[in-house]
Amino acid sequence: MVKTSDIFFCQQCGYCCQGETTVSLDENDQKRMIQYLGMKREEVARAFWRQNGKTIQMRTVDGHCIFFDNGCTIHAGKPWRCSQWPLHPSILEAQENFEIIKESCPGINRKLSYDEFCKKFSVLFRIPPKNRG
């Protein structure tokens, strides 16, 4: 039986939470975060969000997402894009995507070839082979 840890095991390095910007939050992300924090929308927006036009991202502090402190401190309330990382379906479309993501995330199992990785990834996430590039 294939397990997620066969292809990925988070090293808590924080690379994916670094940078001067973060992933953007869709409506569901915003609601989940508000509920998780148990605060009013305005309070969450003031304390944790950065709005650029219609785009809402998380604020950053010292080059990290505001919720990063030796790991994500808002695990159950984090945006879906954070939950998906690094197992992005684009990996199955091109080896180049796999290599780029592997470079950015030390949690990817480096012992697997691209094909081996894709086979396990497809089984785990029940992605039909026809969706592969």
7/58 with CB nearer ligand SF4: 58
Looking at 9-17, 41-49, 92-100, 110-118, which segment touches ligand SF4 (CB under 6 A)? 9-17
Residue 78 found at the interface with ligand SF4 (CB under 6 A): yes
Q: Note whether 17 and 23 are within 8 A (CB).
A: no
**Distance separating alpha carbons of residues 102 and 114, to the nearest angstrom:** 10
Residue 68 found at the interface with ligand SF4 (CB under 6 A): yes
Any idea what the Cα angle at residue 62 is, between residues 58 and 64, rounded to 5°?
45
Among 82, 87, 91, 118, binds ligand SF4 (CB under 6 A): 82
Alpha helix stretches (DSSP H) within 25-108:
27-37, 41-48, 80-84, 95-104
Residue 49 found at the interface with ligand SF4 (CB under 6 A): no
In the complex, minimum distance from the CB of residue 130 to ligand SF4, in angstroms, rounded to a whole number? 28
**Distance separating alpha carbons of residues 114 and 92, to the nearest angstrom:** 9
In the complex, minimum distance from the CB of residue 132 to ligand SF4, in angstroms, rounded to a whole number? 23
In the complex, minimum distance from the CB of residue 133 to ligand SF4, in angstroms, rounded to a whole number? 23
Among 120, 118, 113, CA closest to 91:
118
- Residue with tokens 């924090």, as numbered in its chain: 37
Name the residues that contact ligand SF4, by CB under 6 A.
10-17, 22, 58, 65, 67-68, 72, 74, 78, 82, 85-86, 105-107
